[in-house]
Amino acid sequence: MQHYQLFIDGSWTDGRTGQVMSSQNPATGQDWATFACAAAEDVDRAVAAAKRTLADPGWRDMTQTARGKLLYRLAELIEERAAHIGEIETTDSGKLLAETASQTKYVGDYYRYYAGLADKIEGQVLPIDKPDMHVFTRREPIGVVAAIVPWNAQMFLTATKLGPALAAGCCVVLKASEIAPAPMLEFARLIEEAGFPAGVVSVITGDAENCAIPLTRHKDVDRVAFTGGPETARHVVRNSAENFAVTTLELGGKSPILVFEDADLEGAANGLIAGNFGASGQSCVAGTRGLVQRPVFEELARRIAEKSEGIVVGDPLAASTHVGPLCTRAQVEKIGATLEAAKSQGARIRFGGAPLDRPGNYMAPTLVECKTPETETLQVEMFGPVMSLLPFDTEEEAIALANDTPYGLGSGVFTQNVARAHRVSSRLRAGICWVNTYRAVSPIAPFGGFNQSGYGREAGLEAILDYTRTKTTWINMSEAPMSNPFVMR
C-alpha cells in the first residue's frame, strides 16, 4: 500500500505524533494508500520555514524574472507528469481520469500565466503635493500564505493560489484535504524538482483540530486563501481574528442556469448536463438549479432524458466512462436523504434517483422535476449528479428565482436574444455568468463569488496583487535640513 509523507521545509517526513490516516478508492471501496497527518508541531515547522525563507537572500533577493523562470519550469513538469498525477487523483477521489489528466495538464497554463506576470508587478512615482519630496510605491510580498484546498479540483484550485503567491515572492504552506490528499503530495515532488528553495512551499495534510486550526490561526501567517464549504469558512474567519491574516474565501454554491424559450435547446440541454453531471456533479459551480421557461420546459426535459440514456457510469479509469463514483459514501447518503425530502414536497424523479448496486460510491445521474423553489434539491448543495428543473413564466420571475439564494458563485443564461443576455446577466447576483456555455475557465479570467459563496477573486491579473502589500517611500531631496517640527508654516 502506498504511503505518503508530509513535505516540510524541503524534506519528506512523517508527522511528529505518528498519526496516519488511510485513503479509500471510491471506485472499489477499498483502502489503497496511507498518509501522514500533521500536528500543531508540524504546522509550526512549516510556517517557521516559510517565515525564515522569506528573509533568506536566496529567495528574498531573487529577481522577479528568476521567480518567473521557476514557475515556467514547474509548468513544464506538471504537463510532463499530468497523466501520472491524473491517475493518482482518480484513484484517490474517483474523478474521471479523462478529466483529472486533462485538467492537470491545463493548470500548467495557470503557472505559465503567473510566471509571465512575475516581473510585471510595478510600483509608481506619485505626483506629490509637497516640494522637494520624491515619493514612490512598491509592491512587496504579503508574507506567509496558508493555502487550503478541497479534494474535488485540487490541482486547479492550488494553481489559482500558488501561482500568484509564488510570482509575488510569498512563501506558502499548502494544506491538502484529509480526503484524497495524494495528488497534492505527488505535486510536492514537482515543486522540489523545479528548483524552488526549501521552505518556499510546504505541503501538509491532517484533520481540522491538529492541522487546519493551528495553521489558519498561526501568528506568523499573513494571508489565508481558502476553498471549501461555508461552515468551515466561518471557522477560518474566526481563526484569522487571532493573526489578522488577509483572507479570501471561495465557497460553494447552488448555481442557477436560466433557459429562455428562444434558447437553442440542444445547447441548453448540453449545458445543463455539463453543469450537473460533469465531474459527477462534484463541482462548486454545478448548475443544480435549472430554471426553464414554461413553453419549452417539457421539450428540454425530454432532450435531457434522451441524452442521459447514453451516460456510462463506471470505472473512472476507463476512457468510456462519463460519470464515476462520488468521493465519499457520505455524499451518496446525503443525496438519498435530500431526494426523499424532495419527493415528500411533491417533486417528481424523471430518471435515476438511487445509488447503483455495485461496490463503490456510485450514484445514478438523476433528474428532479420540482414544483416549488422551496424543494429540497433546489436548496441543498449535494455534490453529486443530481439536476433539478423548475419552470418559470417571465424574465422578471426567472431573475428573482435565480437570486433567491444565499449563494452566488456561478450562473448560466441560455438565450439567442443578445439584449436579454446582457440584461439578465447584469442582474444576476453571481461572481461568474456564462451565456450559452457553462463551466469554462481560464487563467486570465477572475473566479469567485458573491454572498455566502465567498469574497476575493482567484485567477486573472488582480489576483497577483492580492498577494502583495504596498509600501510608500518618501525621500526628501532638499539640501536644507528638515525644518523644526514645532514651527508651523
Q: Would you name the residues annotated as active-site residues?
A: 250
Q: Are 322 and 313 in contact (CB under 8 A)?
A: yes
CA geometry: angle at 400 spanning 396 and 405, to 5°? 165
| Distance (Å, whole) CA 180 – CA 28 | 14
For 453, residues 6+ apart whose C-beta sits below 8 A from its C-beta are: 250, 251, 252, 253, 407, 408, 409, 430, 431
For residue 72, what is its C-alpha cell? 515556467
What is the SS3 assignment for 52?
A: helix
CA 370 to chain centre: 29
Grid cell for residue 442: 481560464
Enter the C-alpha cell of residue 432: 461568474
Q: Is 64 exposed, middle or buried (0-12, 13-18, 19+ CB in 10 A)?
A: middle
C-alpha dihedral sign at 347, 352, 357, 361: negative
What are the residue ranges of helices labelled H in 218-283? 230-240, 265-277
Distance, CA of 201 to CA of 459 (rounded, Å)? 19
DSSP string, 164-189: HHHHTT-EEEEEE-SSS-HHHHHHHH
Provide the greatest CA pair distance for the chain.
87
